Structure formats: structure tokens, C-alpha cells
Amino acid sequence: MWALRGLRNGVLTTRWPARPDEYAAVTRGPATVPTSAARADSSENVAALCPTGAIGVAASGAVRIDRGRCILCGRCVAARPDMFAWTSGPALAALSRAELVVPGQETPEALAAVTAGLRVRTGALRRSVHLRHVDTGSDGAEEWEILALLNPVYDIHRLGIFLTASPRHADILLVTGPGTPGMAEPLRQTYEAMPHPKVVIAVGTDAVSGGIVGPAHDAPTTAGGVGDIVPVDVWLPGSPPSPFAILSALLLALDRLPTAAVPRASRGGKR
């Protein structure tokens, strides 16, 4: 039965990033401001559209959005489709927190320096890479997406990437959740137990900024994301980010993304 089903369905495992994947290209990501020319009228309070405080308006009226705080609720896109739009595709991760704010605030020179430094650190991680995951108060959404990486569709083992139960065997630390006080010390201990070189990826809006329970709501029981607890190398927004986005973040950290799949800003190019 299983043999016949396999012959009928063929190979279901994606070939991304070696080959394009239609589903990866249309996966929804955080909201964005499609043009740097977006302006808000002085009588409008567009910032109030976002429950996490991701939208900001400068004195000049220029609108910006912090994708690191976006929880994909869609209020801004529904209310002002002329000013906000959805991002799409898996290339959502950034190598600096400032890079998640659009229009961009990170200079190409600073981003190029961050990229070069990470490339030097991860140069030895080429064949077998092991991941350790720590949940610091997540709602469980990101965990399902990480778990999906092990199924036959994504199959991260084909890329030499594996999950490990011990931080002493781990090269990359995947952190989900906003960073609750009760998990701050276990997260630090896990980070300290990992051998060098090591990489930390904040997976999901909660891990990046605290999300809906972050500082925007003065929640006393959470941190403003895991960057307050351990040094983060890759910032991946999304609530939750898709398996393709998580895979893209992993390959970005390892400098293994094909050039065409890497965001222009992450290559240190001009905006």
C-alpha cells in the first residue's frame, strides 16, 4: 500500500532552495510599507491600528513599520491597503534588529560588517549542523512550525541539519517565546553550554520583540524579546513564521542561501 502510494504521489519533498518552490514564494509574512513615500495625514492616527505598537509616524508624516513587532493580525492592511501590504516569500529573517524596521534604518556598511562577522564565525559549520530549541513562554505556534521541518515535505535532514537534545552538541540555538522571567536563566545556561562557534536565532515575533505581551503593553511578566537575555544573530519575525521562513533563517545564518534567495539588504547591498 505504502509503496503504491509512493509511486502514485512521487517525491513530495521540496527542493527549495536549490529549486524554486511555488508554495514558498506565496507564504505570507509580516506587514510592510511598500513605499518610502507613504505619508499619514496629521488628522489620522494610523499608529493606533496596530495592537503591538509596530506602526510609527515621524514628524514629517512618514510612516514606518517595525516588522519585528508585527503579529500578522492584518488590521493595518485591511484599514489602509494604500499604505500597508503583506510581505511574501521565505526571506524574512534579518541579521540585525534595525533591519526589520521599514523603510530601512540600518546602513549598508553596518549590515555588511555584521554579515562578514557572522560568516567568519559560521565558516566551520558546513556539513552536519545541530539545533537546540528552547521555548521561553511561547503559545506553541512556532513549535508546530519547527516540528514541521522534520516531516517529509521539508525534511531538513537532507540539508545536514538535525535537532539535538543536548546544548553541548548544538551549533544553533532556536529560541521561541517572549522571554519569561522563569525561562531567562535556563536560556542563559543553555547558551553558555553550547560550544563555539554558536548562533542564536529568535524565531517568531514573540522572540524578537515580546509580541502581544511585550513592552508595548507593559507586561511585567515578560521581557521585550529574547535579545534582552542572550545575544541574537538572526531575527525572524512572524506569528508564527512558516517552515520555509525558518529554513531560510537557518541557511542565512550558515551563509548557505543561494544569492537569488538572499534579501538585498542582507547581502550588504544598497537599498
Give me the DSSP letters along 173-199: EEEESS--HHHHHHHHHHHHHSPSS-E
Given this model, what pLDDT does residue 263 score? 47
Q: Which residues of the chain form CATH 3.40.50.12280?
A: 97-267
The dotted CATH code for 27-88 is: 3.30.70.20
Residue pair 229/132 in contact by the 8 Å Cβ criterion: no
CA 79 to chain centre: 25
CA 110, CA 116: separation in Å to the nearest integer? Answer: 10
**10-residue mean pLDDT series, the chain (271 residues):** 61 85 90 77 79 87 90 92 91 91 71 69 78 93 95 92 93 94 94 93 95 64 83 94 94 80 43 33
pTM of the model: 0.86
The dihedrals phi and psi of 39, each to the nearest 5 degrees, come to -130, 145
CA 92, CA 239: separation in Å to the nearest integer? Answer: 12
Query: What are 235's strand-pairing partners?
Result: 94, 202
Given this model, what pLDDT does residue 57 score? 86
Given this model, what pLDDT does residue 266 score? 43
DSSP code per residue over 203-228: ESHHHHH-GGGSGGGT-TTS-SSGGG
Given this model, what pLDDT does residue 217 score? 53
Intra-chain end-to-end CA distance of the chain, in Å: 53
Cα 169–Cα 172–Cα 176 angle in degrees, nearest 5: 115
Given this model, what pLDDT does residue 212 score? 82
Q: Which residues of the chain form CATH 3.30.70.20?
A: 27-88
The dotted CATH code for 97-267 is: 3.40.50.12280
CA 33, CA 104: separation in Å to the nearest integer? Answer: 10
Given this model, what pLDDT does residue 264 score? 42
Q: Sheet containing 101-102: give its strands across.
A: 55-57, 63-66, 101-102
Q: What grid cell was written down for 250?
A: 537557518
Given this model, what pLDDT does residue 194 score? 95
